[in-house]
Amino acid sequence: MAKREMRKAIETGCPDGFQYMHPLMVKNFGQWKTHDHPRPGVLRHIAKSGDAIWTVRAGTQRILDVFTLRQLCDIGDRYADGRVRFTIRSNIEYMLADEEKVAPLIKALEAAGFVVGGTGNSVAMISHTQGWLHCDIPGTDASGVVKAMMDELIDEFKSCNMPNRVHITTSCCQINCGGQGDIAINVQHTKPPRINHDLVANMCERPSVVARCPVAAIRPAQVNGKPTLEVDEKKCICCGACYPPCPPMQINDPEHTKLAIWVGGNHSNARSKPSFQKLVASGIPNNPPRWPEATAIVKRILRCYKEDARDWERVNDWIDRIGWPRFFELTGLPFTKYHIDNWRGARKSLNASSYVRI
């Protein structure tokens, strides 16, 4: 059989962004002077040259079909010089040289169902991953959770009434692709994996699965004469790390896969060093299609933060000031033994002083 001629890839890597950049941004590259925030969803940047550029930000469904993508392009062609960019939280941004077009652009976006906002001290678009739509190990969906929550938080996306910006993230397993957030809604498994011993030998590279376990709870075994793996269930922390390299070690469970909520993750260096999120609630049912229990807790935390935090305090700054006892008191969430860390480095999270809030 004749060998098929294969096309050789052109290994260009990351494309040059200048070819697609708005001409005013090219012209004033590195020469911006200041910005202001005329209304939620709109930024105005002023260059040293005196040029001004308006940015209009809009939230979308993130999983875009080509019709929606073309609709966003049509709006860009009509009102925004045909240039767009996307933010790290998957909002679309239109750049305009002409202030006159800002209001008609907003009108066109809203008429098409997109949501203008997500700037300044708003609840930003929830960052999320693939979930049941495309991931191989998800405990829950991602786009669905986010859609259901953003339906409830849309007014906070469209306004800037929070003490500072609020970044919410979701993740469908404990690997946490959604990342750190002021509020993070993450899957938390509560039972060890259920192992299909007939499949392990053929599907899994057993030594690397053993090596993957953070608590050395997995060991080689023989079941029904077949080589397989077994889990010491007393040691197992139900993290699910064995499941990606070994699919017969099923960690997901319709009932025992729960959601947990974490707060105070902050990537910025402003006011204090970047911080990791901390556990505040768990045992929340994974309840499609609209996950009302998780949304209710998120809204409760947001309400307390909005009422009690001072201007410019992110969630972590706010809790640093009021202390954890007050946080649990304000939110009405239970404080349990599971909140006390016992992983490596846990000692640094214990109170080794007489500083108490009583």
Please, what is the end-to-end C-alpha distance for the chain in angstroms? 82
In the complex, the smallest distance separating the C-beta of residue 225 from another protein, rounded to whole angstroms, is 26
Query: Which amino acid makes up residue 99?
Result: E
| φ and ψ of 57, to 5 deg | -105, 140
**Looking at beta carbons only, is 53 or 330 nearer to another protein?**
53
Q: How far apart are CA 89 and CA 59, in angstroms?
A: 9
Give CA–CA dist 347/316, Å, rounded. 20
Binders of another protein among residues 224 to 253 (CB under 8 A) are 239, 241, 247, 252
Asked if 321 is part of the footprint of another protein (rule: CB under 8 A), the reply reads no
Enumerate long-range contacts of 305-313, CB under 8 Å, 24 or more apart.
305/162, 305/163, 305/166, 306/161, 306/162, 306/163, 309/163, 309/164, 310/163, 311/163, 311/164, 312/163, 312/164, 312/271, 313/163, 313/164
Q: Which is nearer to another protein, 247 or 323 (CB)?
A: 247
Quote the CA–CA distance of 80 and 77 in Å, as a whole number: 6
Q: How far is the CB of 332 from another protein (least distance, A)?
A: 26
Residue 262 CB, nearest distance to another protein (Å)?
11
Task: State the nearest-atom distance from the C-beta of 267 to another protein, in Å.
Answer: 4
Site for another protein in 124-163 (CB under 8 A): 127, 129-141, 143-144, 147-148, 150-152, 154
The reply on whether position 9 binds another protein by CB under 8 A is yes
Which residue type occupies 48?
Answer: K
Q: Is 95 in the site for another protein (CB under 8 A)?
A: yes
By CB under 8 A, residue 65 contacts another protein = yes
Binding status of residue 22 toward another protein by CB under 8 A:
yes
Distance CA 185, CA 165 (A): 17
The footprint of another protein on residues 173-212 (CB under 8 A) is: 174-180, 208, 211-212
Find residue 258's DSSP bridge partners.
188, 285
Backbone phi, then psi, for 11, in 5-degree steps?
A: -90, 75
Q: Site for another protein (CB under 8 A): which residue of 25, 96, 185, 259?
A: 25
Q: Which amino acid is at 81?
A: D
Stretch that binds another protein, among 219-227, 285-293, 296-304, 332-340 (CB under 8 A): 285-293
Instruction: Give the range of 57-65, 188-196, 223-231, 301-309 binding another protein by CB under 8 A.
Output: 57-65
Is 119 a binder of another protein (CB under 8 A)? Answer: no
Q: Which of 230, 231, 250 is nearest to 240 (CA)?
A: 250
**Toward another protein, which CB reaches closer, 208 or 336?**
208
Residue 34, interface with another protein (CB under 8 A)?
Answer: yes
Binders of another protein among residues 68 to 87 (CB under 8 A) are: 68-70, 72-74, 76-77, 82-87
Q: Nearest distance from residue 164's CB to another protein, in Å?
A: 9
Residue 53 within binding range of another protein, rule CB under 8 A: yes
Which residue among 45, 57, 189, 206 contacts another protein (CB under 8 A)?
45
Instruction: Decide: is 257 part of the binding site for another protein (CB under 8 A).
Output: yes
Q: Is 282 in the site for another protein (CB under 8 A)?
A: no
We find the least distance from the C-beta atom of residue 122 to another protein, in angstroms, to be: 14
Q: Phi-psi bin for 355: left (phi > 0), alpha (psi -120 to 50), beta?
A: beta
Report, in angstroms and rounded to the nearest whole number, the Rg of the chain calculated over CA atoms.
Answer: 24
Is 352 a residue that touches another protein (CB under 8 A)?
Answer: no
Element (H, E) at 169: strand 168-171
Length of the chain: 358
* Residue 338 interacting with another protein (CB under 8 A): no
- DSSP 3-state assignment of 355? coil
What number of chain residues touch another protein (CB under 8 A)?
119
